[in-house]
Structure 1
Amino acid sequence: MRRESYRDRALVVRTHDFGEADRIIVLLTRNHGIRRGVAKGVRRSKSRFGSRLQHFVDIDVQLYPGRNLESVTGADTVAYYGSGIIDDYERYTAACAALESAERLATAAQEGDPWLFDHLTETLARMQQTKHPTVVLDGFLLQAMTHAGWAPSLFDCAQCGAPGPHHAFHPAIGGAACVQCRPPGSAEVPEEALHLMWLLNHSHWPAALQLVESAEGGHLSTTAHRLTRAHLQWHLEQKVTSLGVMDQT
């Protein structure tokens, strides 16, 4: 049975060179989830659309279904988010972490749900000018985990529901932990770090940035990032390589 080609909006989340001139493209599409395709001849200088099949470009892509890989037969630029990102190392590494995390999170998303794609494009647009790219990344991750159904509890105890604020956090029980429920190895955290995470999770950006730029903001944002990363990787059950690269800088 011959399957029809189709078009969708997409962001490139990963690429691999294939053969002498082709490239394997991993796409987060708006309406079809993750798609893996081959773009033939795009590494040649005369390629019609090879320059569009790169990170930080929102494209209108045409795909033809295949047995193992789809064929990328066309791509038009909708928006370019690389300006302000690719020339700033901190923004670049944070944006790459957002792309890789989105690919991992998309495996749990349902086809036809445009939320993750839309959320990622909004994050890349915000990343272009922010002074706090790691904070923007953490907002993306927390909201994406909420959409996936495993947001951390940031006020009430995740185990027994005792009202907070609490001063311990462990991803194994789902976030904040009271004195009675905290398991061994729980992180001791200031309640304001959990409050910052709550603000980011609910898109209260002005209040979150005011907290980040306060006297204790550096410590709070570092703690919030560490907890967000721990919760993400616990539930994904795999490492997000780009997050490790970020934390080495």
Structure 2
Amino acid sequence: MLYRDEAIVLRTHKLGEADRIITLLTRQHGRVRAVAKGVRRTTSRFGSRLEPFTHVDLQLAEGRSLDVITQAETITPFSSGLGLDYDRYTAGTVMLETADRLVAEEKEPSVQQFLLLVGGLRAMVAGGRGPGQVLDSYLLRSLAVAGYAPSFEHCARCGLEGPHRWFNPSMGGMLCSTCRMPGSASPAPETVAVLGALLAGDWPVVEAADARHLREASGLVSAYLAWHLERALRSLAYVER
């Protein structure tokens, strides 16, 4: 049975002499692993259309364990815009790995995650905003869609309205003095405002923030991500935070 969908290529790895397994985040079918036959041959009809970061329109044939890609047309070659800028490329790689980890169940629809990833890559390529802030905003929003929404305005444990002083990834965000847990961080109030703005997409607040508060916010986003994914992302080690 054939089906069509649009997708972002998340990663690839070799299969046999000439094929590749392509991991995709699709709009309607969630995370899909599919075989691209002959893609490693110089005569392949797919060309560079199935490389990571590429936004593609696909036709696939359902298979027993892996589907097979039968057609691929490029919609947006995000890789060409990211490949010229190391900071944007490495930040984009973290976005791909995050999407791959958050959408764990294959063939489960995840339209919001797909649209977030496309929008995040588009903003990363556009270059109008810092790559670190685009990445942090994407990470917070994708975690929220996955059911791990952080709380920056209310106590994550008791719901008391803030502002609050303490941040704890395992508890889901900011904590009041009563609910404070051992090992909680105490970020600057300006940093907490940046975190809320990144989650809400309030870019004037983000762009007006001091560099030290942006750095502190990035560290807290990384800690929050690592806690909820249960281990750090490999690609995050290459991003300057």
Is the structural similarity TM-score above 0.5?
yes
C-alpha distance in 2, partners of 1:108/1:162?
35
Q: Which moved more, 1:92-101 or 1:182-191?
A: 182-191
User: SS of the counterpart of 2:69?
Assistant: strand
1:27-84 superposed Cα distances (whole Å, 9 cap, x missing partner)? 0000000000111110111111131001221100111111111111110011122233
Q: Which moved more, 1:25-34 or 1:221-230?
A: 221-230
Stretches of structure 2 that go unaligned for 5 or more consecutive residues are none
Aligned residue among 198, 211, 218 for 2:211 = 218
Q: Does 1:233 align with 2:226?
A: yes
Quote how far apart the aligned CAs of 1:201 are.
Answer: 0.9
Residue 141 of structure 1 corresponds to 139
1:146-165 superposed Cα distances (whole Å, 9 cap, x missing partner)? 21221111122111222221
1:125-173 superposed Cα distances (whole Å, 9 cap, x missing partner)? 1101145101101101111112122111112211122222122211111
Off by >6 Å, runs of 4+ in structure 1 = none
Residue 37 of structure 2 corresponds to 40
Q: Does 1:69 align with 2:66?
A: yes
Quote how far apart the aligned CAs of 1:199 are.
Answer: 0.8
Q: Which moved more, 1:218-227 or 1:8-17?
A: 218-227
1:37–1:72 CA contact under 8 A, matched in 2: yes
Aligned residue among 196, 212, 234 for 1:198 = 196
1:159-210 superposed Cα distances (whole Å, 9 cap, x missing partner)? 1222221222111111111222211111120111111111111111222212
C-alpha distance in 1, partners of 2:151/2:54?
34
Tell me how large the CA RMSD over aligned residues is: 1.7
Q: Does 1:78 align with 2:75?
A: yes
Q: Does 1:246 align with 2:239?
A: yes
C-alpha distance in 2, partners of 1:245/1:236?
18
Change (3 A) 1:70 1:85: same
Residue 8 of structure 1 corresponds to 5
2:31–2:105 CA contact under 8 A, matched in 1: no
C-alpha distance in 2, partners of 1:51/1:37?
16
C-alpha distance in 1, partners of 2:144/2:2?
33
Alignment of 1:120-139 (within 5 A): 120-128=117-125, 129-139=127-137
Determine what percentage of the aligned residue pairs are the same residue.
45
Q: Which moved more, 1:80-89 or 1:183-192?
A: 80-89
2:194–2:214 CA contact under 8 A, matched in 1: yes
Equivalences, count: 240
Residue 84 of structure 2 corresponds to 87
C-alpha distance in 2, partners of 1:236/1:110?
20
2:31–2:107 CA contact under 8 A, matched in 1: no
Q: Which moved more, 1:67-76 or 1:235-244?
A: 235-244
1:108–1:148 CA contact under 8 A, matched in 2: no
Change (3 A) 1:108 1:185: farther
Q: TM-score, structure 2 length as denominator?
A: 0.94
Quote how far apart the aligned CAs of 1:110 are.
Answer: 8.1
Aligned residue among 156, 159, 163 for 1:158 = 156
User: SS of the counterpart of 1:36?
Assistant: strand
Aligned residue among 19, 22, 32 for 2:16 = 19
Alignment of 1:41-56 (within 5 A): 41-56=38-53
1:139–1:201 CA contact under 8 A, matched in 2: yes
